[in-house]
Amino acid sequence: MFQSQEYYYFWIFLLILIFFVIVILSISKLITPENKGPEKLTTYESGIEPTGGARIQFQIRYYMFALVFVVFDVETVFLYPWAMSFYEFGIVSFIEVLIFISILIIGLIYAWRKGALEWS
């Protein structure tokens, strides 16, 4: 059954956290200046008037380039914990990482041949 004494510190911490969030947001609302003028109500505040519609089409190459970057970036992050514990895992883990890296290289070659890495 649920025993509240085990979670006593958790509930205290949660209440303190909620209190601080409410206090910080209230203070921010009170001290924030309200400068609602015509410049603040425009679409962009950069000083440049917007031209054209906001819904323009982008080429798929930008999305493909970003997707390839995210995939390889996230996958290489998985190598860091393995490298930190390299001596504890043994030869089986080394072979698994070689397989993992070879799959990444095959994916990179595939993306390269399909033209996903070209930025022209």
CATH number of residue 107's parent domain: 1.20.58.1610
Of 115, 74, 79, give the one whose Cα is nearest residue 100.
Answer: 79
Q: Please give the model's pTM, rounded to 2 decimal places.
A: 0.47
Question: What is the number of domains present in the chain?
Answer: 1
Q: How far is CA 31 from CA 18, 22, 36, 40, in A?
A: 20, 14, 15, 18
Map residue 3 onto helix, strand or coil. Answer: coil
**Residue 2 included in any domain:** no
**Residue 91 included in any domain:** yes
Alpha-carbon gap, residue 115 to 109, rounded angstroms: 10
**Residue 22 included in any domain:** no
Alpha-carbon gap, residue 89 to 96, rounded angstroms: 11
**Residue 99 included in any domain:** yes
Q: Which domain holds residue 101?
A: 60-114
Tokens of 51: 């031209």
pLDDT in tens, 53-111: 767 777 777 787 888 888 888 888 888 888 888 788 888 888 988 998 899 889 889 88
Question: What pLDDT was estimated at residue 72?
Answer: 82
**Residue 4 included in any domain:** no
Composition of the chain by helix, strand, coil, percent to 5? 65, 0, 35
Average pLDDT score over the chain: 82
